[in-house]
A and B are shown apart, each in its own frame.
Chain A
């Protein structure tokens, strides 16, 4: 069994119109190398499900997105994601705005192969009104009326971690794993990019098995992508690149700003990308953010 793909094979296995979940959280541990591969592809009409950061903004800027299902789209220190904002204010973008907790609940419903999971959350707000959610009544004595959060079934999930092996064992070493395991379980196929891919985790890093965030039966392919989270953070290895995130945000204020950013920074391949953002050593030295 060998689940390793090249980044070209990864992007070739996606199709236009798919529903793709992107793991990570805002500007934290986003599978940006995989996102850049999509940016460089002909894929279009995607539905993106995410706790969004520059991943969602860039895909919107590049015209890849039909619909965004989101808990938020933010770059933290830059609270309003400028390209997502621009796309939404222009109209024409299909939107499902969720409470952050509802999103994980929808992924869990999909993971457990349930049509929905009940919750209080969303009731009494316009998230309910605009989202078109239905309610269910508890069959027990309480008779409570609850929102039925539909399963968020994904065609594909994208995740970035420190380490993977060819069998699909993965390790994420940072202090937080966000909701990545639920993206993986909610998806038909999960693509994991890793800073490093080894033959067998038990031969290389057996002492770190507790950093395995999801079982390998939920990992369908692994792609080696050093610094693949840049410009988002990859604790404990490197922090987010605020200089790059600011340059990207500034491109939203320029005429044809995205085309210029895509040509000058995203470019044609990952090796060139790392050179264009300052080189591997500079990315490796990015300090971790302090909150």
Chain B
């Protein structure tokens, strides 16, 4: 496997994020936002072709739909999965793995996209609302993509409003079946983490070239565990870069990370 000489950090993260869906089988891969969406497309076009994917509107497609402006009818529909079937056929049935970018994440993997500060009745900053996060998190696999790893995202205590279920023992209502809660990867601009630590603790498994564990810890509001062997995030191959470029002809990925840094830190 040859690696490409020139690539951006965002492209490296897209490749790392695409690993989240490896060997998932026949389920809907949803990447919310440009980088997760490219990662899902890359996963389908390389290691896990049986993944299902939508055009973002109502149809299932076998060729991932490129980002940005294009002809309205360019997508070729292979199946049908409108919003009106989504809870029945993807979310509540567990046939989905979504990668999302929450505003806050805590040590338990609980996330928040509802509001920041203040109270439920009068939030300081109203955000998206819980949207589908409660259902996603208790019904199917989830991963996360965080473009700017910081203590504001990886918060010290619990998140301001728990929008998605994590592994917090204090919120394990007796008698409830939480067995489908399945958090996989967190890909950030510094590292790749999973939930493989003690009692599902967040654990660093890969560091991007030039990043240290201490740097990641300093940017995180809670104590991180380290995998027995922390790997270096691999560089993209020319083949992977070509697929990413084809799925993103307008280079929308260049705007995902601040100043679009190169993959090799100087």
Q: Which residues of A contact B (CB under 8 A)?
A: 25, 70-74, 79-80, 84-85, 88-92, 95, 97-102, 104, 119-130, 135, 137, 143-146, 175-179, 287-288, 290-291
Contact = CB atoms under 8 A, between A and B. Distances in A.
B141 to A, nearest CB: 15
B130 A288 contact: no
Given A71-B132, A100-B135, 7 more contacts: A25-B83, A79-B128, A84-B126, A99-B133, A124-B134, A126-B120, A290-B69
A122 B180 CA distance: 14
B204 interface: no
Shortest 6 CB-CB distances between A and B: which pairs?
Answer: A291-B56, A145-B175, A91-B122, A175-B58, A176-B82, A124-B165
Contacts of A143: 175
Contacts of A120: 135, 138-139, 176-177, 180
A89 B128 contact: no
Contacts of B121: 91, 95
Contact of A99 (B84, B130, B168): B130
A224 B94 CA distance: 41
Nearest to B115: A88
A145 B72 contact: no
B164 interface: yes
B126 A71 contact: no
A153 to B, nearest CB: 20
A124 B172 contact: yes
B164 to A, nearest CB: 7
B7 interface: no
A288 B175 contact: no
A131 to B, nearest CB: 9
Contacts of A126: 114, 120, 130, 161-163
B131 A71 contact: yes
B131 A89 contact: no
13 contacts: A73-B129, A79-B128, A100-B87, A101-B87, A101-B135, A120-B138, A122-B134, A124-B168, A125-B171, A177-B84, A178-B84, A290-B72, A291-B57
A95 B120 contact: yes
B130 A101 contact: no
Main secondary structure of the interface of B (DSSP, over half): loop
A89 B172 CA distance: 30
A97 B123 contact: no
Contact of A145 (B65, B171, B174): B174
Contacts of A85: 126
Contact of B176 (A79, A104, A123): A123
A89 B124 contact: yes
A92 B135 CA distance: 28
Contacts of B213: none
A125 B83 contact: no
B129 A97 contact: yes
Given A88-B126, A91-B121, A179-B84, A145 B135 contact: no
A125 B163 contact: yes
Given A72-B129, A99-B132, A125-B134, A135 B69 contact: no
A124 B132 contact: no
Interface string B85-101: 00100011000000000
B128 A102 contact: no
A102 B123 contact: no
A179 B242 CA distance: 39
Contacts of B163: 125-127
Contacts of B222: none
Nearest to B56: A291
B70 interface: yes
A91 B56 CA distance: 34
Interface string B22-52: 0000000000000000000000000000000
Given A89-B124, A126-B162, A176-B84, A98 B130 contact: yes
A178 B82 CA distance: 7
B55 A291 contact: yes
